[in-house]
Amino acid sequence: MFLSKISAGIAVGTSLLLGASPALAASAWTSVPVPPTGQNANLMGVSSTSDSDAWAVGSENGSAGAGVGAKVLIDHWNGTAWSQVATPATPQNTASLAAVSANSTTDAWAIGRDQNNRSNFQPLALHWNGTSWTRVTVPLPNNDNLASDLYAISADGPNDVWIVGTYYLLVSPTDEALETYSLHWNGTAWSIVPMPPVPGTNPNNQFVLDAIQANSPTDVWAVGKSVNAASPSSATTLTEHWNGTTWSIVPSPSPSTGASLTGVTTSNASNSVWAVGVDQPSGSTTAQTLTLNWNGTAWVTVPSPNASTGPTVLNSVSTTPGASIVQALGESGVSGANNPFAPQNG
């Protein structure tokens, strides 16, 4: 059994969308070629340190995204064009990357999974030192070698990097529960930092964290959902906060059913955090956008727009400290005819 994250980003085959420079912020988006072409490839995460240094990660040569036979894909932007970069070998027959975080031209991290079948997978972590990508060993949860996974990464600096993921834990001879865990890099070594466990021993009760935002060594947010796997519509939003000492669950609203958060960002230090995702009004079959704001004291729901027809979901959100605009992105429409959806606040 594997409960995947709702979305790691927008999958892109042969082109990546880039925005205009700040001086041309009102200009339209343009499509920029990105390798490889003519293959089954997708990009799931992107991070940049400047207009001439960006990384995009995902997988290629797999079936149905990161299926059996996929290998990791890393592309680099040098200010002029995207190019494919050599990656280290992975032991299993299938590997994929879900997220990347870059601190400088000589320091970047990428995370994902390495697996030999769809139910047996382990964390995958890579590091860029300015010359090459190398595989890095990260500590594993104490879960009798059951599967574990890495979902999101965020760096406040070269000595303060956070990763969140999930792992399976045996709660009976035949049942496994899904728990969350975090990893922290202090500039020297990775260590596991405990997170609040899912209450009870019902394997259907699960926590999943899909996004993380590190603001400072004493201020980190992770968001996702709490769900009973036997009833997906039971999902409620989940937010957790690191205060420099411990992780704690912070109450967050779930206005409707099936509520989940898939992105988090900070616009003005710790008193203006934004989280986005999706929920579904009671009695409706149409998903709608969900946006929450942390005002320094509590999470509050902020009304957000939806497309005129069909379901609308938000997958990611981004801004920078002090910025006046918060950018969110997702998709709308019916399966097979989705359209990009990009609301902004500010």
Percentage with pLDDT > 70 across the chain: 85
Query: What share of residues in the chain are helix, strand, coil (percent, to 5)?
Result: 0, 55, 45
The pLDDT of residue 12 is 38
pLDDT value of residue 283: 78
Per the model's pLDDT, the better-predicted residue between 284 and 138 turns out to be 138
* Lowest mean pLDDT segment, chosen from 64-73, 201-210, 334-343: 64-73
Give pTM, 2 decimals: 0.86
Count of helix runs (H) and strand runs (E) in the chain: 0, 26
285-308 mean pLDDT: 90
Q: How would DSSP label each residue in 102-125?
A: EEETTEEEEEEEEEEETTEEEEEE
Residue 227 one-letter amino acid: V
Distance set, CA 293 to CA 264, 279, 290 (Å): 10, 16, 10
Average pLDDT over residues 171-198: 89
What is the predicted pLDDT for the residue at 41? 81
The whole-number pLDDT of residue 27 equals 52
Three-state SS for 226?
Answer: strand
Q: Return the percentage of the chain with pLDDT > 90, whole number.
A: 43
Nearest to 13 by CA among 55, 79, 69, 65: 65
Structure tokens at 50: 């400047």
What does the mean pLDDT of the chain come to? 83
Buried residues in 75-105 as b, exposed as e (16+ CB within 10 A):
bbbeeeebeebebeebeeebbbbbbbbbbee
Residue 2, pLDDT > 70, answer: no
Q: Which pLDDT belongs to residue 11? A: 36
Point out the least confidently predicted range of 20-34, 156-170, 206-220, 262-276: 20-34
Whole-angstrom Cα distance, residue 131 to residue 182? 28
The larger pLDDT score, comparing residue 74 to residue 63, is at: 74
| Residue that has been written with the tokens 């240094």 in this structure | 53
Among 15-24, 42-51, 139-148, 223-232, the least confident range? 15-24
Q: Where are the alpha helices (DSSP H) in 205-245?
A: none
Whether 68 has a pLDDT exceeding 60, the answer reads no
Residue 116 has pLDDT above 80, yes or no: no
Residue 197: is its pLDDT beyond 70?
A: yes
| Length of the chain (residues) | 346
Report whether pLDDT(276) > 90.
yes
Q: Span 234-242, mean pLDDT?
A: 94
- Give the lowest-confidence range in 2-16, 150-164, 177-191, 248-262: 2-16
**pLDDT (tens digit per residue) in 307-337:** 887 888 888 888 877 777 888 888 888 776 7
pLDDT at site 78: 94
C-alpha angle with apex 81: 77 to 84, nearest 5 degrees?
Answer: 65
